[in-house]
Amino acid sequence: MSTRGRLFWKILLGFWLIFLLITQLVWVGFSMYGSHHEPPEESMARRMAELQLSSAASVMTRGGLPALYALMADWPAAQRQFFSFSPATGSSPGANAKPGADSRPANGIDEQPPTQRHLYQPLVTWTVTLPDGRVYELRYDIESLRRSSHPGPRGSILHMPSPLFWLGVAVGLLFSLLLAWNLTRPMRQLRWAFARVAQGDLTVRLYPVMRRRHDEITDVARDFDAMAERLNVLVSAREALLHDVSHELRSPLARLQLAIGLAHQNPENVGASLDRIEHEAGRLDRMIGELLALSRAENQGSPGEDYFDLLGLLEAVVNDARYEAQVPEVEIRLIAHQPEDYTVKGNAEMMRRGVENIVRNALRFSTQGQQVTVDLNREDSWLVVTVSDQGPGVEENKLSSIFDPFVRVNSPLAGKGYGLGLAITRKVVLAHGGQVEAHNGPGGGLVIRIYIPQWRS
């Protein structure tokens, strides 16, 4: 059976279980209520009978049998057939007086004599005393009145009238069909979308076709689109990284092959060829090392449980950079706002590598006499590291992409790196729950700012 069929029958079964439970509880409630109270239809029939008997008794006590006959002549035939009267046991023989005879007492008293009512099932009876002393018994057949209102036997199924039962069947089928269709239609669309994703199509989207539902399934469609978009970005990034790695490895490998070929062709240049081979091998080793660092920074879920002083880490990085900056004669300054607590939770080695990449990048694009500034301060719960240089800066349309792998700006000094340093920095900062941003300084140069959450005890 299809998924739609299973869901349809589950909904139908659930509807009928609830329907039967409610009807049986209602039946039990009415049964318990009816044991202490008269049923509504019987109470209505009794009130109608009492009204008819009250009218008949009233006219009989004032006008006798002739008045009763006159009253009965105005009654519909449907009401007369349930009413009857006869002399009560022990009454005087004058009970068969004909209509029209004067039955008023000789003294002319109009006062209504007392009457007695005896109610029982299936008849309601009243005993009436006429002005001449005769006693009559009035009867009203309630059971016949009820049968005439509901002709024929009334069948029931599970204490429910048959029409109500079959109406429940029809409504249950319609309700289950509509609800199953309403649920299975988006389920089929979800199944189709997942099948497309499994086949490699990451462009499929569900929210545009489900946004009018305004329910939880719409939220599922929105989350599915976010998942598909994220997968598309990750796959595209992997493909771009694989392409860039292949491109970057091809050049040094080509130069290695060329150096080997030259060594074979001209044995006198073996020394120069070996130097070139050694140089290209070193370049390959450094590139592979940075790729491994990028992979570790990207795939390491938790940065670690170490606690380190960010100011001490920056001092170590700046001291190393100052040693390298002696040849280009670039000044590197460290500014820290004290006294402050600069404790950070995470991986100190990864953070050192990330900050070092930014400082080295600033040093690479600085020339003689320029200055690189490393500033550390606290903003609310964030520790902010700002690295600024006085170099050429970056074009505005490329600022958002300098943290991507193998992205290098157009500069005479850009060939010294592989475009992986800032990508590693971003991965490290994100792994520590922080943020990184870049912009050009107002007086020129590039400014990179890192936000790291400060550890609170």
What are 14-60's pLDDT values in tens digits? Answer: 777 887 788 777 777 766 765 555 666 677 778 888 888 888 888 88
Residue 113 has pLDDT above 50, yes or no: no
What are the C-alpha distances in Å from 142 to residues 43, 59, 79, 118, 357?
A: 10, 22, 11, 14, 103
Token pair for residue 416? 């010294």
Strands of the 382-388 sheet, one edge to the other: 331-336, 371-379, 382-388, 446-453, 435-440
What are 287-313's pLDDT values in tens digits? Answer: 787 777 777 766 665 566 788 999 999
What are 419-428's pLDDT values in tens digits? Answer: 778 888 888 8
- Distance in angstroms (rounded) separating the CA atoms of residues 168 and 313: 76
What are 92-103's pLDDT values in tens digits? Answer: 443 333 333 333
Residue 434: pLDDT band with limits 50, 70, 90 = very high
Q: Which of 241-245, 346-350, 396-400 has the lowest mean pLDDT?
A: 241-245
- Distance in angstroms (rounded) separating the CA atoms of residues 373 and 281: 34
Phi then psi for 344, rounded to 5 degrees? -130, 145
Task: Compute how many other C-beta atoms are within 10 angstroms of the C-beta atom of residue 314.
Answer: 24
What are 365-421's pLDDT values in tens digits? Answer: 888 889 999 999 988 889 999 999 998 888 888 887 888 777 766 554 444 556 778
Instruction: Quote the percentage of the chain above a pLDDT of 90.
Output: 12
Residue 123 has pLDDT above 90, yes or no: no
Q: Which helix H or strand E contains 182, and what residues bound it? A: helix 162-198
Do 365 and 430 meet the contact criterion of CB atoms below 8 Å apart? no
Residue 141: pLDDT band with limits 50, 70, 90 = confident
Residue 183: pLDDT band with limits 50, 70, 90 = confident
Residue 439: pLDDT band with limits 50, 70, 90 = very high
Residue 63: pLDDT band with limits 50, 70, 90 = confident
pLDDT at 39 (0 to 100): 62
Chain CA centroid to CA 36, Å: 49
300: left (phi over 0), alpha (psi -120 to 50) or beta: beta
- Distance in angstroms (rounded) separating the CA atoms of residues 406 and 242: 11
- Distance in angstroms (rounded) separating the CA atoms of residues 196 and 204: 7
pLDDT at 108 (0 to 100): 29
The mean of the pLDDT values for the chain is 78
pLDDT at 42 (0 to 100): 72
ω into residue 442 within 30 of 0, thus cis? Answer: no
- Distance in angstroms (rounded) separating the CA atoms of residues 363 and 448: 13
Residue 89: pLDDT band with limits 50, 70, 90 = confident
- Distance in angstroms (rounded) separating the CA atoms of residues 254 and 239: 22
Instruction: Quote the percentage of the chain above a pLDDT of 70.
Output: 80
Average pLDDT over residues 202-228: 86
Walk me through the domains of the chain, giving residue ranges and CATH numbers.
3-37+153-183 (no CATH), 40-88+112-149 (3.30.450), 202-299 (1.10.287.130), 306-453 (3.30.565.10)
